[in-house]
Structure 1
Amino acid sequence: MLDFRQACFFIARKSMIERSIIQSRGAKNVVLENGQPGFQFQLRNPNYRGVQASLIDGIDVTLNGKSYPCETAQWTLQGQTYSLQEVLSSTSARWQLDELATVTIPVDAPLPNGIYDLRVCVYIRRPYIPGPFCRSPFRASAKIVVVNSGVLTGPQLSVSTYSYTGDMYTLMTLEDVMADIADMGATGIEMLAEGNIPGYPTPSNAWRDEWFGLLEKYQLTPTNLGTWVDTAMWQTSDLTVEQGTAQIRHDLQLAKSLGFTSIRPKFGVTTMELDPHPIWQESVLRSLDLAEELDIVICPEIHSPTPIKHKVTQDYIEFINTHKSSKFKLMIDTGIFQTAPCDDGHEGIEVKGGKRPPFLEPLNVPMVDLQEILQHVYFIQTKFFEIDDQLNDLHIPWQPIVETLQNAGWKGWLSSEYEGRREPYRGRDQVRRQHALLRNLLK
């Protein structure tokens, strides 16, 4: 029977351990006590039960083909760090099933941003298994992504919770997502109101308290709140201007109460080129006073298949120039710069007769078009689909995008929006890859 302290621990636990032995979070460069560079990673206990630390009989580590002697690895268990000999002689330390072990090895030099092949064999002695079989080997391998964090002086890095679609609330909690974001050195979190806020449109006070507690714990800043104005909510009638206005004003209040600085109201569309429903202008206009009062920016999204030189985008810019409000600006989705088609990851969209919907075709918008409107851009969703093992994006040209932003002195948020295949944990791995890639370019 659990005592009160143990019961509180299980009730308060808000994160999940990955099924794989080698965890994707926690892979990073460190400096050892002797000043030598080290590399650190985290492991799940591969056994079916927790063990006394003295039953850990070492670990073989191979990193990108180089082997590291078992005795050089340090073990951190329950907040305390031990050498192998200290582990073997320990009388109180344990490796519990629901706790991670951190393993640290000395390396010749810090690892640059990139993807590395890590192989381990963990040895655990099991005294109830006889003879030579007592020392049980548990082998695992993984491609781990190293992202070296640091202060950025230009554009800042954020992550959209949309990137974890399918994993969030099944394999990952909100805290797991926020821990991932912080672990890769990003400082912003973008959220989908109806995707990730339990109880929307009126989240509970308990959830709000949890939200602010996690923001403080992981030192994250709320960036953009993705919202919707579903103009075709009913098959028999469209939303009126009054209803659209009420939706925007509600979401502005919600965003303010949760610390966000912008909302993206996605209006229903009337054409294949994403022309927004005609109520958008009047609904936004009637909400600008509240946006000004709350200091929240309303950001319509420029999303494929709508290029920058298109009536939709130009109408938004005309609205900005006409009403001269600093609380209406543009959000750019980098899918408009896509140079190659991607047919993966678009759940609910079928390619019929061999023809893709227009919004799946690459637009390849030129950088000069982006440069011309950057003064009106508040937020950029760094949409992507796949980054390979050499940190090459197969669809989005990041180098010219980043160069355009840096040359213009643009310093807003770049928010990762992964929209590729949804195999378990793939989103979290791909987001780490994108941040490693972007960190290399944002130096």
Structure 2
Amino acid sequence: MSKIQRGVSLYSYQEEMFLGQMTVEDAIAHAVSLGARGIELLPEQNMPAFPNIDDVEIARWQDMLARHGACFTCYDMFLDTKLRKGELLSDDEQVASIRRDLALCNRLGIKNMRVLVFVRPDILERCVPYAEELDVHMGVEVHAPWHLEHAWILRTIEVADRLNTRHLGILPDMGIFMKHYPPAFRARFERQGARPEITQFIVDQHEEKVMAEYTIYEVAVKRGGNKAEIAMAETLRHAPYANPKRLKDYAPYFRHIQAKFYEMNEDCTDPAIAYDEVIPELVKCGWEGTLSSEYEGNRWIQDAMEVDSREQVRRQHVMFDRLIAQAEAALGAEKEPA
């Protein structure tokens, strides 16, 4: 039986929460109703008093989670590199900021902290002793256009190996497994004036995994692309398809996954991200952690239709249930004696 857990990032409900149509508690209740009891928290968005969180506020959150049978799975850290206008944070100030987040993460009872990809490995190295003391895993987000084997990501892994620590690693964002171009992206650009023949060309180029710069040049220069067409071509820089089979090599370095998605079909399949390849690899390698829904499709449709984050998240978890069960059955069949 797979030990993969299901959860939801509160970021998934950002549209309805921004519009006042949902509260944080509504979001937690919805996630739990899907069997997704792990809650990924964004303190800067979800806690108005951040970073000055007192014990009363922490007790209020813990009580709310307990009422719904939920638990925190991950704390999303944000590091502002500019503290003052035109002045960068010093290294010491960056370390102090991360230590502040680690302390709050620990006070909230959370074991995993998402670290933004641009945080330097040498800064994180200075934070490792504190993370070990508080038992918090710092996972550097592997976010498109970076990927599991990008040199910048490997630098963090090298630091973790050198320090022989279990408290520094990575945290994959599933946007790195974009096998097909998202239909919602294409539709938005067409509403902005992109011609269907050009959008089809861009989709075909992505399908064939042509280098983004070639496609951008072709659209902008050879085909006289308009503003919307060029913008669509430029999204290809952030639409990589990494090899899911490499997940097993990096599984020891991550405990949490941001299950990015932009849209789910009515049949509960993802038209863009290769979850049907990713989840079997996670099951086969025995990965233990949380698949945490991160819906980001709202910004691609909000100009044309009402956003229904609840339904989108629900469909993703139906897919997770199905794919995990199928992968477990396939693995069991492989292990049965002939």
User: TM-score, with normalisation over the residues of structure 2?
Assistant: 0.77
- Counting only pairs closer than 5 Å after superposition, residues 68-217 of structure 1 correspond to structure 2 as 153-168=2-17, 170-217=20-67
Which of the numbers 107, 128, 139 marks the counterpart of 1:288?
128
Task: Report the equivalent of 1:45.
Answer: none
Name the amino acid aligned to 2:71. T
SS in 2 for 1:383: strand
Instruction: Say if 1:354 and 1:283 are closer, same or farther in 2 by CA, change over 3 A.
Output: closer
Alignment check: 8 A CA contact 1:305 1:359 kept: no
Instruction: Say if 1:295 and 1:184 are closer, same or farther in 2 by CA, change over 3 A.
Output: same
Q: Percent identity?
A: 29
Q: CA deviation at 1:404?
A: 0.1
SS in 2 for 1:287: helix
SS in 1 for 2:168: coil
Alignment check: 8 A CA contact 2:255 2:288 kept: no
Query: Does residue 395 of structure 1 match 2:235?
Result: no
Alignment check: 8 A CA contact 1:182 1:220 kept: yes
Alignment check: 8 A CA contact 1:263 1:297 kept: yes
Task: Report the equivalent of 1:407.
Answer: 284
- Counting only pairs closer than 5 Å after superposition, residues 10-89 of structure 1 correspond to structure 2 as none
Task: Report the equivalent of 1:377.
Answer: 254
Which of the numbers 232, 251, 255 marks the counterpart of 2:82?
232
Query: Does residue 440 of structure 1 match 2:317?
Result: no
Task: Report the equivalent of 1:15.
Answer: none
- Name the CA distance, whole Å, in 2 between partners of 1:229 and 1:368: 31
Instruction: Say if 1:405 and 1:296 are closer, same or farther in 2 by CA, change over 3 A.
Output: same
Name the amino acid aligned to 2:17. M
Q: CA deviation at 1:367?
A: 1.5
Larger Rg: 1
Alignment check: 8 A CA contact 2:2 2:283 kept: no
Higher relative contact order (CA 8 A, sep 6+): 2
Task: Report the equivalent of 1:75.
Answer: none
Instruction: Say if 1:237 and 1:302 are closer, same or farther in 2 by CA, change over 3 A.
Output: same
Structure 1 stretch displaced more, 243-252 or 334-343 = 334-343
1:418-443 Cα offsets, whole Å, 9 max, x none, are: 01025455111100100011011112
SS in 2 for 1:210: helix
- Name the CA distance, whole Å, in 2 between partners of 1:345 and 1:326: 43
Task: Report the equivalent of 1:365.
Answer: 242
Give 1 or 2: higher strand fraction. Answer: 1
Q: How many residues align?
A: 279
Task: Report the equivalent of 1:324.
Answer: 164
Unmatched segments (≥5 aa) in structure 2: 189-226, 326-338
Task: Report the equivalent of 2:310.
Answer: 428
1:354-401 Cα offsets, whole Å, 9 max, x none, are: 355457642111122222211212211110011111112111111111
Unmatched segments (≥5 aa) in structure 1: 1-151, 268-275
- Name the CA distance, whole Å, in 1 between partners of 2:33 and 2:256: 22
Alignment check: 8 A CA contact 2:15 2:298 kept: no
Structure 1 stretch displaced more, 311-320 or 357-366 = 357-366
- Name the CA distance, whole Å, in 2 between partners of 1:412 and 1:352: 39
- Counting only pairs closer than 5 Å after superposition, residues 302-317 of structure 1 correspond to structure 2 as 302-317=142-157
Question: Stretches of 4+ moved more than 3 A in 1?
Answer: 232-235, 350-361, 422-425
Instruction: Say if 1:190 and 1:395 are closer, same or farther in 2 by CA, change over 3 A.
Output: same
Name the amino acid aligned to 1:320. A
Q: CA deviation at 1:204?
A: 4.0
Q: CA deviation at 1:292?
A: 0.8
1:60-107 Cα offsets, whole Å, 9 max, x none, are: xxxxxxxxxxxxxxxxxxxxxxxxxxxxxxxxxxxxxxxxxxxxxxxx
Instruction: Say if 1:192 and 1:437 are closer, same or farther in 2 by CA, change over 3 A.
Output: same
